[in-house]
Amino acid sequence: EIVLTQSPGTLSLSPGERATLSCRASQSVSSSSLAWYQQKPGQAPRLLIYGASTRATGIPDRFSGSGSGTDFTLIISRLEPEDFAVYYCQQYGSSYTFGQGTKLQIK
Amino acid sequence: EVPLVESGGGLIQPGGSLRLSCAASGLTVSSNYMTWVRQAPGKGLEWVSIIYSGGGAYYAGSVRGRFTISRDNSKNTLYLQMNSLTAEDTAVYYCARVGSTSFAFDIWGQGTMVTVSS
């Protein structure tokens, strides 16, 4: 099973700042089969990025994903108030696993 | 119109069984890969099961042999039959569609809560 480790566990930033979230896999993720989801309290997750770097439909361009192999990054270029949430990475190249999440909170 | 609506959750005693439903509208369950994901209270996401459009199904190790995913094409509904439930199965259960080009989980239901407790 591919284990995904996200860092940091919690990230405290202010609106307008840049957020950098990391996701490291225990083994190489095939075909960049890596997605990012956003989840707000009491809501279902929302797909942000798939294929490591492709934004899902309707996702603002301040969200960008990059990486390959075992190291992946989600960047939010300028934080909006609605971006404060929990973010999960997921690999779907070998079965399906999620990272433990990064909580992005207002500083 | 909400594409996926789960139901069937509730309070169940350890060792009991429960069947969750996921009614779809605006998308055809049988034409898509469909999946179940769960989230224990205050915890992260855990993939549970998937059913392919061809009918093949796969399960996470934690539920294999106890849970069964299925669908009713005439009702356009996805199911998760859960047997031999334990406290570790307590979670919100989400159904989701697997995107046909992304292969990520692109449409999610609102979730249904399952509590296993005596």
User: How do residues B99-109 score in pLDDT, each as one tens digit?
Assistant: 999 899 999 99
Write the CB contacts of B17 (distance below 8 Å, at least 6 apart in sequence): B81, B82, B83, B84, B85
Q: Can you list the pairs that B19-23 forms with residues at least 24 positions away whose Cβ atoms lie under 8 Å?
A: B19/B79, B19/B80, B19/B81, B19/B82, B20/B79, B20/B80, B20/B82, B20/B93, B20/B95, B20/B112, B20/B114, B21/B77, B21/B78, B21/B79, B22/B77, B22/B78, B22/B79, B22/B80, B22/B95, B22/B109, B23/B75, B23/B76, B23/B77
A87, two tokens: 């973010």
Which among B36, B39, B102 is the top mutation candidate for probing chain A, defined by the most A β-carbons within 10 Å of its own β-carbon?
A: B102
User: How do residues B24-68 score in pLDDT, each as one tens digit?
Assistant: 999 999 999 999 999 999 999 999 999 999 999 999 999 999 999
The count of CB pairs under 8 A between chains A and B is 58
- Is B54 in CB contact (< 8 Å) with chain A? no
Query: Which residue from A51, A54, A88 is facing B44, i.e. has the nearest CB?
Result: A88
For position A31, what pLDDT does the model report? 75
The residues on A that touch B, with CB distances below 8 Å, are 33, 35, 37, 39, 43-47, 50-51, 54, 56-57, 88, 90, 92, 95-101
Which among B6, B39, B45 is the top mutation candidate for probing chain A, defined by the most A β-carbons within 10 Å of its own β-carbon?
A: B45
Going by pLDDT thresholds of 50, 70 and 90, the confidence category of residue A48 is: very high
